[in-house]
Structure 1
Amino acid sequence: MTGTAEERTTAARAMVFPLAFAQFVCSYAATNMNVAISTIADDIGTSVRGIQTTITLFTLTMAALMIAGSKLTDIWGRKACFVAGLVVYGTGALLATLAQGLGLMVIGYSLLEGVGSALLIPPIYILITVAFDDTGSRAKYFGVVSAAAGLGSAAGPLLGGVITSSIGWRASFLSQVLAVAWILVLSRRVIDPPRTGPKPHFDGLGAVLSAAGLFFVVLGVLQSGTYGWFVSREAFTVGDVELIPKGGISPVWVFIAIGAAILCWFFLHVRQREKHHKNPLVSVRLFRDRTSNLGLTTQTIQWLTMQGTFFVISVFLQQVRGFNAIQTGLTLIPATAGILIASAAAERMAHRHSQRRLIRAGFGTVLLGFGLLLLLVREQSNVLTFAPGLLLIGLGIGIMLTASVNVVQSSFPERDQGDISGLSRSVSNLGSSLGTALAGSILVAASHPGGRPFALSLTMMAVITFIGWVVALLIPRRRPESR
């Protein structure tokens, strides 16, 4: 950016809103469909399983292509990649609005919105990193974006339920089209500082291997809700051929093993390209930074905890208490409020405390929230008993989401921002998928999700949160110099 320091700061602040709003739309799209599955299935003449498949494919597409999408920011430019992602995403939302059958819904929602998300999300975090030099300012605006992500995920069921009930499910997709059109207009404010040095070449084989590996890993995790984690609840078939009988090993591990093998091939490929001084999709040096690795781990656990908790509470409220989508969304408001409050205070907290301390405090606050939920909530207890625990969980997540993003993104110089942003968003998606799958594997297996299964799911989330707190203890007090 050119001009005085004050002009550069003003220009940087002006572009935060369209970036945060774009993140909100993508997060909203990941959760709002859940409350309209039956309605959409009936309207376009398909099954509930068909719509659930489109939701799964959206998650898979976004997660699988996030690293490749982030690499394109170094080739096309960050703003160009952001705008291209918006155009692809908006086109997908428009096709989904007009869908009369499952085919167009899959193309529009699952594929194009997934590809668009993978293109536009990484530039959001890169642009904020390069626009703000000091940790406090980065924390403030990472807080805005993190709040938008958390708000989109939490508000998706509520807004989706309201729109579907009052207007129709097509209006939910049309609202995304209009939102994307507005962001495209606002994107004129986005200023992309010019990169120095030659543009890297795109590693096509690396992109295919990383996408395929992540696809199978995430697919395996998502299949746990159907087949279970260890013993297959039902026979696994391909066509008319039964590959794994009911009671055999869960196919979850088959998918994960295939994904892990492909990812190992990917890392060997990347190392070989670097050895021959060629541009890899992701540099292996990203995995040698201890601070960043620990930050990525806490980031994964944070998204796992958030999505897993929202899933557990939503299932409990709808299947045990008989709440509809709107009532469920309203009950989750304390968690959303907690995320917003903590994110708004991110800059102030970053000036007063280290990122390491904030991550630890966030995990500790979430643990207290789980304790209150387990202590106060019963099958017939007043709905207000959810509020204290959910508020603390939201506050804790809001505190540490911003801090973890800051730790990871600030661990590397500008030349590596494309790579680390894609890696960061990929682990966040993996964490979200794991959270829903882990919680769902307990609740789906139970004939009644209340009582012991509900408590067991929350206890599992609490144990994982404690592991995150332990990992946060290992983050160095002072971040090593970027390499």
Structure 2
Amino acid sequence: MSIGSADKQSASEENPASGSDSLVAKLILVTLLTAELLIQVDQTIANVALPYIQRDLGFTDSGLPWVVNAYGLLYGGLLLLGGRIGDVFGRRRILVVGVTLFSLASVVCGLSPNPTVMVIARAVQGAGGALTAPVVLALIITSFAEGPSRQRALALWGSASAAGALFGLLIGGLLTSGPGWEISFFIAVPIGLLVVVLGGRTIKESRAEERPSLDVAGAVTVTAAMLLTVFAFLDTEDSWTSPMRGGFLVIAAALLVVFGVVERKQVHPVVPLRIFKLRNTNAALLIMMLFGVTQMSYFFFVTLYLQKILGFNALQTGLAYLPLIGTLLVFAQICMKTIGKVGMKQMLTLGLLSLGLGMGWLGLAADSGTFVSTVLGPTILSGIGLGLTMMPATTAATTGIPPADAGAVSGLFQTSILVGGSVGLAVLTTVTQAAGGLEATHGYTVAFLSCAGVMAVALLIATLIIRIPRQADTA
């Protein structure tokens, strides 16, 4: 399926600066990247502060994980809805609403007097993030024409998205060890204000040319299905045979069947089924689901390996991710500058191969037990893979989609990463427990080698299914 001329015209008229090096285009990109970084950083910034939050607010051991889970539940469950809301009501408007909601909730998090307020505020943060993240990607798609300008924007977006969680760990460690965990939440306010002001002044409103209806039935069923799916996999300690987990998954599967039936009858479905007729989009969504498995598992298992096996504290753990951040940012720039010569598909396969080799190296070296011999080399190789993967995968997923569906595809893309990561982490945690747990190196070996196998499957999909003509790489 190709974009009609009217769609192309609509996309270019929404932002005349699209594809140019004008100051307006640069400000638009800075605004969107800042919003993306803000959302991604806050997914992990509180993780290293959890013991301090527990001490100051009086969380129980069973309640403490909900500081993280409340955010993840609403963020993951509402991504698809957030993307479509942007398509219907205007992406700039929803960007401003989402960032404002996120910033206000951040203030409440920092001022929380008790666990209940903290958990509710984190949930509202997640909802704000779910409104913001898909419209950021959708605005990049609609603001920059296909070709080098969009590829540059997507490369920078990919860097901000992949590095955000790492920056969150680093910033969280620094602030928690210094002025206090509360500041970790307060820093969202000036950043959010910057996004709101710049976004209101530089980004033109973007929505479907013929404003579609919201599709309430589809929105309710898919949101409920996503919420139940994410919730079922939040507790990685729960048994796979748990009646509660199984029940949530059965209900979620039933809701997805109902959702499919509902969408076939809708004139303006929340997830247009025509999206799934695009070969590259389908392949890219599947690849990013597998990518999510490795990305989330990497952060989880490497963090535990550094602390449980190598004895790192929170600040040392955050600093240990600096080589990954640096490598990721450098190779994202290399990807952006050379992809026209190398080719989109070739760059994607190279990125997946590098990430897979990095995970395999971690698995084979896990018994060594020093940062330099065990973690540093694989970290650099994995950083190369992260830097080379995000932009071509995003381009493959979004090339040829109608501007009216930009939010829906953006929501699907990010939901694929999050759901893949949640499910994969739950599976790998169960596997590592069967292999002896995470108090000894063998469990980490199994986890890292499993991630390498997942990347091998993603590489196979990219090689066999992705079809991007060379002129699409350089247009």
Structure 2, unmatched stretches of 5+, are: 1-12
1:318 to 307, 310, 314: 307
- 1:216 is aligned to 228
Deviation per CA, 1:6-36: give whole Å up to 9, x if none.
Answer: 8674422221112111111111111122111
Offset at residue 454 of structure 1 (A): 0.9
Deviation per CA, 1:297-324: give whole Å up to 9, x if none.
Answer: 1112222211211211111111122211
Contact map agreement 1:359 1:399 (CA 8 A) in 2: yes
In the alignment, the residues of structure 2 paired with residue 162 and residue 473 of structure 1 have an alpha-carbon distance, to the nearest angstrom, of: 41
Residues 152-167 of structure 1: pairs in structure 2 closer than 5 A: 152-167=164-179
In the alignment, the residues of structure 2 paired with residue 394 and residue 74 of structure 1 have an alpha-carbon distance, to the nearest angstrom, of: 33
1:192 to 199, 204, 226: 204
Contact map agreement 2:98 2:132 (CA 8 A) in 1: yes
In the alignment, the residues of structure 1 paired with residue 372 and residue 470 of structure 2 have an alpha-carbon distance, to the nearest angstrom, of: 47
In the alignment, the residues of structure 2 paired with residue 320 and residue 104 of structure 1 have an alpha-carbon distance, to the nearest angstrom, of: 35
Contact map agreement 1:311 1:439 (CA 8 A) in 2: no
In the alignment, the residues of structure 1 paired with residue 392 and residue 40 of structure 2 have an alpha-carbon distance, to the nearest angstrom, of: 19
1:373 aligns with 2:362: yes
Contact map agreement 1:202 1:281 (CA 8 A) in 2: yes
1:478 to 432, 455, 468: 468
- 1:89 is aligned to 102
CA RMSD of aligned residues (A): 2.3
Contact map agreement 1:61 1:115 (CA 8 A) in 2: yes
Contact map agreement 1:11 1:189 (CA 8 A) in 2: no
**More displaced 10-residue stretch of structure 1: 403-412 or 186-195:** 186-195
Q: May I ask how many residue pairs the two structures share in their alignment?
A: 458
Q: Which amino acid aligns with 1:62?
A: Y
Residues 293-442 of structure 1: pairs in structure 2 closer than 5 A: 293-442=282-431
Relative to structure 1, the CA distance from residue 389 to residue 481 in structure 2 (aligned partners, 3 Å threshold; closer, same or farther) is closer
1:226 aligns with 2:237: yes
- 2:42 is aligned to 29
1:137 to 141, 145, 149: 149
In the alignment, the residues of structure 1 paired with residue 279 and residue 422 of structure 2 have an alpha-carbon distance, to the nearest angstrom, of: 25
1:175 aligns with 2:168: no
Q: Which amino acid aligns with 1:90?
A: S
Relative to structure 1, the CA distance from residue 383 to residue 196 in structure 2 (aligned partners, 3 Å threshold; closer, same or farther) is closer
Relative to structure 1, the CA distance from residue 20 to residue 216 in structure 2 (aligned partners, 3 Å threshold; closer, same or farther) is same
Contact map agreement 2:284 2:397 (CA 8 A) in 1: yes
- 2:122 is aligned to 109
Relative to structure 1, the CA distance from residue 382 to residue 418 in structure 2 (aligned partners, 3 Å threshold; closer, same or farther) is closer
In the alignment, the residues of structure 1 paired with residue 423 and residue 324 of structure 2 have an alpha-carbon distance, to the nearest angstrom, of: 20
In the alignment, the residues of structure 2 paired with residue 20 and residue 450 of structure 1 have an alpha-carbon distance, to the nearest angstrom, of: 39
Deviation per CA, 1:86-137: give whole Å up to 9, x if none.
Answer: 1110111111111111221122112x11111111111111111122213322
In the alignment, the residues of structure 1 paired with residue 470 and residue 234 of structure 2 have an alpha-carbon distance, to the nearest angstrom, of: 36
- 2:66 is aligned to 53
Offset at residue 383 of structure 1 (A): 3.5
Offset at residue 354 of structure 1 (A): 2.7
Q: Which amino acid aligns with 1:464?
A: V
Q: Which amino acid aligns with 1:69?
A: G
**More displaced 10-residue stretch of structure 1: 65-74 or 371-380:** 371-380
Contact map agreement 1:304 1:435 (CA 8 A) in 2: yes
Structure 1, unmatched stretches of 5+, are: 233-243, 245-250
When the two structures are superposed, what TM-score results if normalisation uses the length of structure 2? Answer: 0.90
In the alignment, the residues of structure 2 paired with residue 181 and residue 82 of structure 1 have an alpha-carbon distance, to the nearest angstrom, of: 12
- 2:55 is aligned to 42
- 2:245 is aligned to 252
1:263 aligns with 2:276: no
In the alignment, the residues of structure 1 paired with residue 455 and residue 85 of structure 2 have an alpha-carbon distance, to the nearest angstrom, of: 34
Residues 263-282 of structure 1: pairs in structure 2 closer than 5 A: 263-273=256-266, 278-282=267-271
